[in-house]
Amino acid sequence: MFKNLIVYRIGPGWAAHRTALEAGLEKMIFVPCGATQPVSAGWAPPRGVAHGPLVEAAGAQWLMKLMIEQRVLPSAVVRRRVEERAAQIEQATGRKPGKKQAKELKEEIVLELLPQAFTKQAEIQVWLDPKQRLLMVDASSPAKADEVVTQLVKALGGLSLTPLHTTQSPAAAMSGWLTTGEPPAGFSVDRECELKSADETRSAVRYARHALDIAEVRQHIAAGKLPTQLALTWRGRVSLLLTEAMQIRKIAFLEGVFEGGKPAKDEAFDADAAIATGELGKLIPDLIEALGGEHQPGVPALAA
């Protein structure tokens, strides 16, 4: 159900009530792009059933889904059409369009072409833990996660979200695990890693399907390279890639986690949601503890 997670702390000023959350999202339900609308974003039923609830409960966990639709208009097509129109203007007037006219011409062409453009849709799964006051976004990049945060803050008055920060930076922690060969309790180091220098060269060394408990890795770290991502396994149940920006990527549930056979289609969502949030709901606190605990405002964080 979740492939990547970026974790946010919910500010103290917002009271978590499922009915209020549902009501807020209903004000921003997803609507497909209009004829000349380049992008549209809104909330959709996470179960994928038309007119279903916008907030699904998996035990004490709440699940949501942000839909984003975008009209695909290749820049080369726009540029060619603008050049053709500019050539027509120059032939008719004897003068090339200036910068301002060229900009207006481009905007005009885009509006003309948008109704003919294909659309593509993306779904972003969102998980809210009201008890722990954490929000998890299934996004592979901060930009996508920021879009979710923007939409939630618009929909819910008084809500504030800040990226989760730990006392020890992931880069410093990963350096220690690789140098000492001692990963934190509950975790084991796998066979994928990237090390990058902090200077202007940003030289990088990547290991894939390779043992990391070797002198070469320790030498790179001693020379000043820091881990930007490291593959880990948690309690033999979940594998992941931890990044220097505290992103949890490439989440995979290992053999034995989804036991009991394949559920009926209408029960699959509930089963997947319960297992995924149950496992990851234990993994995240363990990861925070492995990184020295959550960083409290006013207390200096440990730098890399």
Report the amino acid identity of residue 127.
W
The pLDDT-based confidence of 295 (bands split at 50, 70, 90) is confident
Placement of tokens 């000043």 in the chain? 224
Span 221-259, pLDDT tens digits: 999 999 999 999 999 999 999 999 999 999 999 988 877
pTM score: 0.86
Q: Kindly give the pairing relationship between strand 39-44 and strand 61-72.
A: antiparallel
pLDDT at 267: 78
Task: Name the DSSP letter for residue 139.
Answer: -
Asked whether residue 302 carries a pLDDT value surpassing 70, the answer given is no
Placement of tokens 């726009």 in the chain? 78
d(CA 149, CA 133): 14
Computed over its alpha carbons, how large is the radius of gyration of the chain? 24
Burial (0-12, 13-18, 19+ Cβ within 10 Å), 233: middle
pLDDT at 303: 47
Asked whether residue 11 carries a pLDDT value surpassing 60, the answer given is yes
Of 109, 132, 130, 144, nearest to 15 (Cα)?
A: 130
Which two three-digit tokens encode residue 302? 């440990």
d(CA 242, CA 187): 12
Of 25, 12, 18, nearest to 58 (Cα)?
A: 18
Asked whether residue 260 carries a pLDDT value surpassing 80, the answer given is no
Task: For the chain, give the mean pLDDT.
Answer: 92
Span 130-185, pLDDT tens digits: 999 999 999 999 999 999 999 999 999 899 999 999 999 999 999 999 999 999 99
At 288 the three-state DSSP class reads helix
The pLDDT-based confidence of 123 (bands split at 50, 70, 90) is very high
d(CA 155, CA 14): 13
